[in-house]
Amino acid sequence: REIATRLSSTHPEEVADELEIIVGSNKRLVQADVVDPQGKLLAERSSTGAKEPLNTEAVAYALQGKEFISDAYFSPAFNRYILYLATPIRDETNVIRGALTSRYDLQAGLEEVFKRVRFGQTGYAVLVGSDGHIIAHPDLARLRDDISSYAPVQRALTGDTGWSKGVNKQGVERLFFYRPFQSPATLNPKRLAILTEIDESEALAPLNTARLQFLLGIGVLTMLATVAAYAVSSSIIRPINALNQFVKKVEAGEFTTHVDLGHRDEIGRLATAMNEMARGLQERDKLREAAITTQQLLQVAREIQMGLLPRNFPVFTHLPEVDIYATLRPALEVGGDLYDFFQLDENRICFVIGDVSDKGVPAALFMAMVVTSFEISAMTGPDSIARVLRSVNRFLNENNDSQMFVTLFAGILDLRTGRIDYSDGGHEPPFLVRRKTGVEMVKKKGGVALGVFGDYDFEIGTIELDPGDALVLYTDGVNEAMNGSRQLFSTPAIEDTLRTVSSDKAAVGICESMITSVDAFVKGAPQSDDITVLIIRYCGAGGSPALAS
């Protein structure tokens, strides 16, 4: 806004002074430029003396009123990996007076993170660009090394996730774990790759005793995740204590995954989320003062947070007994709502929905802690859903300096009988859509939110589902959705909506009906809270083709 004032004044040369303040207040910004509405360069400042020319495509986006962020690229001028950012400059009447572009030092932001990302004694992670060159590495001398010939890198850049054995550039045989990572770029984002390598002997030593219990009927990726989780629990360190140490390091600003949970999916997802969110937190205050890239960084954080939740539907296509669908719509770029579901064994599905007491980045970080601790607790002790909630509650109380809490409703569905054993942590009461008798609210056995009391015994309740029945779970962002007149959608309105739904409608149809009703009620009013809906529909033992469709 200050730059817009300078542009509209009779002294546009004062714009250079504002650029000097912006570049000087943020050590990650190595260059900033201002252009007028015709794209003419008015002023530029560099923290190093080196300068890059304008990106005309980025300037054009900004002058059209849109934010722009580039793919990571190596800048010969600054001899570093850079992100090119552009944003429109608007005056008090929202008229575009020009554009502000900047070069963000991505390499410096990643250096501190990847130096601390270690797995055991020999494992570490690297970030690889779309051209196969290393963008981030614990050893700075390896930056820009070309490892495009690595088979794991080639697979990750084509969108695959997995693991393999191979020989690195030093001629040492290693285990490689790889997964793709989508760039947040505005135009034609390029796929990046996250590659982790570790000595095979160190990675596989604790798995021998647990391998036979999980080998049958499980794919290679699922086998590694499940066996690793059990191995950590029985052979290295209990999962909750290990995660406790990890979270304390995150809170202290040390983003290292020295804890070895052994669950490859969780290590990859949690390490990526924690590192990126922490980097965003470190830069948040300075970027807010400069008033330029906060929105773009939060958008990156949102993509990372949503990556923690299952989003590819349909799910469990090999299980005709169940039909599941969910949606999450944050009120801000990132939020505190959560849902998750996963298979415990061939006959049981575990699910959870929750709502963190805060919003924004702190709630998103707390949400990541809840999702991860719930999955680990459920996979290592699935005999009682109440014990799972008690374990998560104890962990949150021991690692909750921010004094946040979360409401949860979690359960285990037996695919053979339709019986659900559930425990409630102060969450909104769910609804049942019965195929034969209509809609009813569950008279649940209540409990308290997690993170409030250090030691609380959660009760177990049961719900019996007949084939075609659906359990409808939601967060308070649904019943408390507010229209322009500050009226609430309300819980009775949810029940009225569900009564209009056909009893034969699939889970996705039930979910879409609820979201459509909420949107019609609020009529475009700003969203005040995260909105999350999770539908669990039972199709009967063995699955009914008619119900499954």
CA dihedral 312, 313, 318, 319 (to 10 degrees): 120
Q: What is the pLDDT of residue 244?
A: 54
Band (226; pLDDT cuts 50, 70, 90): very low
Q: Same domain for 472 and 497? A: yes
Whether this model's pTM surpasses 0.85: no
Give the least confident one: 272-281, 335-344, 371-380, 519-528.
272-281
Q: Is residue 112 part of a domain?
A: no
The answer to whether residue 463 is domain-embedded is yes
Q: Which of 307, 328, 347 corresponds to the end of one domain?
A: 307
277 pLDDT band (50/70/90 cuts)?
low
Let me know whether 391 and 538 are in one domain: yes
Q: What is the pLDDT of residues 505-541, one digit of tens each?
A: 999 999 999 999 999 999 999 998 899 999 999 999 8
Q: What is the pLDDT of residues 305-349, one digit of tens each?
A: 677 788 888 999 999 999 999 999 988 777 789 999 999 999 999
Is the domain of 126 the same as that of 91?
A: no
DSSP assignment string, 251-271: HTT-----S----HHHHHHHH
The residue with greater pLDDT, 160 or 13, is 160
Residue at 199 is within a domain: yes
* 303 & 315 share domain: no
Please provide residue 393's backbone torsions phi and psi, each rounded to the nearest 5 degrees: -60, -40
Could you tell me if 348 and 321 are in contact, meaning their C-beta atoms sit under 8 angstroms apart?
A: no
Give the pLDDT confidence score for residue 354 in this predicted structure: 95
Burial of 36 (0-12, 13-18, 19+ CB in 10 A): middle
Residue 440 lies in a domain: yes
Burial group, residue 98, by CB count within 10 angstroms (0-12, 13-18, 19+): buried
Tell me the average pLDDT across 118-126.
82
Could you tell me if residue 223 is inside a domain? yes
Count of other CB atoms within 10 angstroms of residue 530: 24
255 and 328 assigned to the same domain = no
Specify the pLDDT at position 503: 78
Question: Among 182-191, 246-255, 351-360, 458-467, which is the least confidently predicted range?
Answer: 246-255
Domain shared by 233 and 345, yes or no: no
Listed residues 307, 332, 348: the one ending a domain: 307
- The number of beta carbons lying within 10 Å of the beta carbon of residue 248 is 13
109 assigned to some structural domain: no
State residue 231's pLDDT score: 43
Q: What span, in angstroms and rounded, lies between the C-alpha atoms of 431 and 208? A: 45
Distance of CA 421 to the CA centre of its chain: 28
**Residue 548 — φ and ψ, nearest 5°?**
-65, -30
What is the domain count for the chain?
Answer: 4
Q: Do 61 and 192 fall into the same domain?
A: no
- Regarding whether 301 and 191 lie in a shared domain, the answer is no
Is-contact 472 430, C-beta < 8 A? Answer: yes
In a domain, 111, yes or no: no
Nearest to 369 by CA among 195, 245, 258, 477: 245
- pLDDT tens per residue, range 40-84: 998 898 988 899 999 999 999 999 999 999 999 999 999 999 999
Structure confidence at residue 222 (pLDDT): 43
pLDDT, tens digit, for every residue of 417-451? Answer: 999 999 999 999 999 999 999 999 999 998 999 99
Q: Which domain holds residue 148?
A: 117-203
Last residue in a domain, options 104, 129, 162 = 104
Domain check: are 30 and 41 in the same one? Answer: yes
Query: pLDDT category, 364, cuts 50, 70, 90?
Result: confident
Domain assignment present for residue 507? The answer is: yes
- Which domain CATH number covers 457? 3.60.40.10
* CA 241 to each of CA 246, 278, 464: distance values in angstroms, whole numbers, following the listed order: 9, 21, 35
Average model confidence (pLDDT) across the chain: 82
Are residues 96 and 189 located together in one domain of the fold?
no
Higher-pLDDT residue of 244 and 199 is 199
Q: Is the pLDDT of residue 298 over 80?
A: no
Task: State the pLDDT at residue 548.
Answer: 47
CATH of the domain at 34: 3.30.450.20
Mean pLDDT of 457-467: 95
**Lowest-pLDDT choice from 10-14, 95-99, 185-189, 406-410:** 10-14
In order of 291, 491, 522, 529, the CA distances from 526 in angstroms are: 22, 20, 8, 9
CA distance 74 to 520: 47
More confident site: 136 or 536: 536
Please tell me whether residues 350 and 281 are part of one structural domain.
no
Q: What percentage of the chain exceeds 70 in pLDDT?
A: 78
Tell whether 392 and 541 lie within a shared domain.
yes
| Between 540 and 2, the higher pLDDT residue | 540
> SS3 for 116?
helix
